[in-house]
């Protein structure tokens, strides 16, 4: 069982549990405790699952963004998998993956320790990153707006009006690792919210959802203090290295950071290091020269792309002029129609205008499709002198085909039709133009 099934407790089960005695939280007494013995106070089978309450437990119940623990309980020689752990008030409920019976007996339990330890490291890393972010951004009023631990990372949502820059992210990551390397002690204690506010004031980062009454205080050395129900490591050194995977602007005023810690952070740093090594080999450069070299190559690529675009445009214009030799005569005008491949709208415009500038008695209709479909129609100056408007003609044809289109009296375009309809649209525009042209210009 590597991830929580996120199982909700049925209301019918909650009703039978809510009045039971408070469960002793061994996970707070010693978050490193992996196995324990406890008495079964209640066992309820509902559907294919059983919901078991013990008098004490090492299993942490889902809460505060930390997933509920998984593991096994052993009763009378049989093992039962714990799929999830939830709380009903102050009662911890172990959700078993199959029916269980045995109220009043003593059972042994063992949590999935690697999973729990990963949660502890990521939870503590989140506090460290929060402290580093507040320091780097110089935001005393920084607040948690959301928080969730998963197998290989922790998600932290923070109040922030401006988007964090790449340089700020890098500095937050560096600062967080320096804090963790100080081997600060992580202390937890129980107090009241009022007392915590008296001692730490705005440093607690309270929000409207912060609980009142009895609360649990978590202090990460002299770097961070907060009200938190999760489990944590004893020393910040256990979460090294910390890697910020990225940021996301959720909405105005909320920024999300995704963070990997300990072995997951190392894996991310390792991937980055491998990528850097490959780049140095490919570019035949030292690591310090990679960024300038890549920038130089990008600029060179843009220059080549621009030169290539100009060359292609020049070739296209030259090719366009050759279409005049096969133009169709309609009244006093010549009509050029072509269905081409892999040309964008700008290239089609340049080709059409090249023809009409060369011969003011020519009408051109060009269609093409690459990632999208395009149709461009252009007319020489003598076309509009007859009171004709190619933009209106193209607009009318496009509307019949369910597309948008239009333009000026001498240049128009449309697009968005299916690729296999390109030739058909070209012919429809041609026919509409031909019908508009008088037999004698």
Domain boundary residue among 70, 95, 111?
111
- Residue 254 sits in a domain whose CATH number is 3.30.980.10
| 147 and 259 assigned to the same domain | yes
CATH number at residue 36: 2.40.30.130
Q: Are residues 179 and 216 in the same domain?
A: yes
In a domain? residue 293 = no
Classify residue 303: in a domain, yes or no.
Answer: no
pLDDT at 209 over 90: no
Residue 392 lies in domain: 320-436
Q: Does 315 have pLDDT greater than 90? A: no
Same-domain status, 125 and 20: no
User: Is there a contact between 190 and 128 (Cβ–Cβ < 8 Å)?
Assistant: no
Tell me, what's the pLDDT at 414?
A: 93
329, part of any domain: yes
Domain assignment of residue 429, yes or no: yes
Question: What average pLDDT does range 147-152 have in this prediction?
Answer: 95
User: How many domains is the chain built from?
Assistant: 3
Same domain, 181 and 71: no
Do 225 and 207 belong to one domain? yes
206 and 272 part of one domain = yes
Cα-Cα-Cα-Cα dihedral of 427, 428, 433, 439, to 10°?
A: 70
Q: Are residues 96 and 78 in the same domain?
A: yes
The residue with tokens 């810690």 is 261
What is the chain's mean pLDDT, rounded?
A: 91
pLDDT at 330: 87
Quick check: is 364 in a domain? yes
* Whether residue 63 is found in the same domain as residue 174: no
Domain edge (last residue) among 111, 143, 164: 111
In-domain check, residue 300:
no
Where residue 395 sits, what CATH number does that domain have? 3.10.310.40
Q: Which of 334, 332, 339, 328 is nearest to 424 (CA)?
A: 339
CA distance 416 to 374: 7
Are 70 and 138 within one domain?
A: no
Q: What is the pLDDT of residues 226-236, one digit of tens each?
A: 999 999 999 99
Which of 86, 111, 136 terminates a domain? The answer is 111
Half-sphere CA count of 160, side-chain side, radius 13 A = 24
Contact, 116 vs 60, CB < 8 A?
yes
Residue 206, pLDDT score: 65
Is pLDDT of 3 > 60?
no
Q: pTM surpassing 0.95?
A: no
How confident is the model over 232-253, as pLDDT tens digits?
999 999 999 999 999 998 888 9
pLDDT, tens digit (0-9, with 9 covering 90-100), for 40-63: 999 999 988 999 999 999 999 999
Query: Token match 């030739």: residue?
Result: 423
The full DSSP string for 43-88 is: EEEETTEEEEEESEESPPPSBTTBPPP-EEEEETTEEEEEEEEEEE
pLDDT reading at 126 higher than 90 = yes
Preceding omega of 267 cis (within 30 degrees of 0): no
Encode pLDDT of 100-112 as tens digits: 988 999 999 999 9
Structural domain includes residue 308: no
Are 58 and 123 in a shared domain? Answer: no
């Amino acid at each position: 069982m590597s991830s929580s099934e996120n199982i909700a407790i049925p209301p019918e089960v909650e009703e039978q549990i809510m009045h039971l005695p408070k469960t002793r939280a061994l996970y707070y007494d010693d978050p490193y405790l992996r196995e324990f013995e406890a008495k079964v106070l209640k066992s309820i089978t509902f559907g294919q699952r059983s919901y078991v309450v013990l008098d004490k437990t090492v299993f942490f119940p889902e809460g505060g963004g930390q997933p509920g623990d998984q593991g096994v309980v052993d009763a009378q020689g049989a093992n039962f998998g714990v799929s999830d752990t939830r709380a009903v008030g102050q009662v911890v409920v172990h959700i078993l993956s199959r029916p269980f019976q045995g109220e009043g007996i003593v059972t042994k339990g063992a949590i999935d320790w690697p999973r729990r330890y990963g949660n502890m490291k990521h939870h503590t890393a989140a506090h460290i990153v929060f402290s580093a972010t507040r320091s780097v951004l110089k935001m005393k009023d920084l607040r948690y707006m959301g928080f969730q631990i998963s197998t290989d990372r922790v998600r932290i949502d923070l109040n922030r009006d401006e988007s964090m820059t790449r340089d700020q992210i890098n500095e937050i990551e560096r600062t967080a690792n320096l804090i963790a390397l100080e081997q600060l002690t992580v202390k937890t204690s129980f107090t009241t919210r009022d007392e915590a506010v008296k001692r730490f004031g705005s440093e607690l980062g309270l929000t409207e959802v912060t609980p009142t009454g009895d609360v649990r205080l978590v202090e990460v050395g002299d770097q961070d203090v907060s009200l938190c129900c999760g489990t944590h490591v004893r020393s910040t050194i256990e979460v090294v290295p910390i890697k910020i995977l990225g940021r996301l602007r959720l909405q105005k005023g909320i920024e999300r950071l995704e963070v990997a810690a300990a072995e997951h952070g190392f894996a991310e740093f390792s991937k980055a290091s491998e990528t850097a090594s490959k780049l140095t080999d490919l570019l035949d450069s030292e690591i310090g020269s990679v960024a300038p070299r890549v920038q130089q190559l990008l600029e060179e690529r843009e220059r080549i792309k621009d030169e290539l675009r100009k060359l292609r445009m020049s070739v296209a214009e030259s090719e366009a002029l050759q279409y005049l030799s096969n133009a169709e005569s309609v009244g006093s005008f010549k009509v050029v129609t072509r269905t081409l491949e892999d040309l964008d709208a700008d290239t089609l415009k340049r080709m059409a205008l090249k023809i009409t500038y060369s011969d003011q008695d020519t009408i051109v209709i060009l269609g093409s499709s690459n990632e999208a479909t395009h149709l461009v129609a252009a007319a020489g100056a003598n076309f509009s002198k007859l009171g004709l408007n190619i933009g209106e003609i193209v607009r009318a044809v496009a509307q019949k085909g369910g597309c948008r289109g239009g333009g000026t009296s001498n240049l128009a375009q449309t697009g968005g039709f299916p690729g296999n309809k390109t030739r058909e649209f070209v012919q429809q525009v041609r026919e509409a133009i031909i019908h508009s042209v008088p037999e004698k210009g």
